[in-house]
Structure 1
């Protein structure tokens, strides 16, 4: 499938993107290549193939959310350069 410069310009206008002439040509070429590849993939029979989210078979790599003791506030703030009553101060970096 061929994506034209006009197609790219139309999508850019709808998305309110400012796209230069060279970018328009590059995007048209890249999108055409992507759609050609997708068309090529459509020729393969995928009946009976389970959809996959990962090829490694990992399900959930997060640990269980278990309540456990944490640091005391005094120990956590021991190395803070400046402290407030309930935390530490961070220097302002944005004017």
Structure 2
């Protein structure tokens, strides 16, 4: 399948893209190569092959969410550039 300049302009309009005139030829050749590759894929016999919903058959393995304190407050505040006895101090960002 060949794409002409009018089809390219229509696709660009639908995709809300601005294409410079000097870019048209390279885009046309790129789109032609993609479409020829797609035509090769259409020639493959896929009868009896189930569509994939995921690439891998692995399922999520969830760990139990257990609340535990791994840092003490003093350890958490130790590397803070600005702090008081309880909190890390940050610059005000909302007026």
Whether the TM-score (by the shorter chain) exceeds 0.5 is yes
Instruction: Give unpaired runs (5+ residues) of structure 2.
Output: none
Task: Evaluate the alpha carbon distance shift between residue 86 and residue 62 of structure 1 in structure 2; reply closer, same or farther with a 3 A threshold.
Answer: farther
Q: Is the 8 A contact 2:4 2:28 kept in 1?
A: yes
Offset of residue 67 of structure 1: 2.3
Number of aligned residues: 89
Q: Which has the larger radius of gyration?
A: 2
* Comparing 10-19 and 28-37, the one that deviates more: 10-19
Does structure 2 conserve the Cα–Cα contact (< 8 Å) formed by 1:77 and 1:88?
A: no
CA distance in 1, matches of 2:34, 2:23: 16
Unaligned 5+ residue runs, structure 1? none
* SS of match in other structure, 1:82: coil
SS across alignment from 1:25: helix
Structure 1 residue 81: Cα displacement? 0.6
TM-score relative to the length of structure 1: 0.68
User: How far off its partner does 1:21 sit?
Assistant: 1.6
Distance 1:65 1:23, change over 3 A: farther
Instruction: Name 1:4's counterpart in structure 2.
Output: 4
Instruction: Name the residue aligned to 2:68.
Output: 69
TM-score (norm 2): 0.68
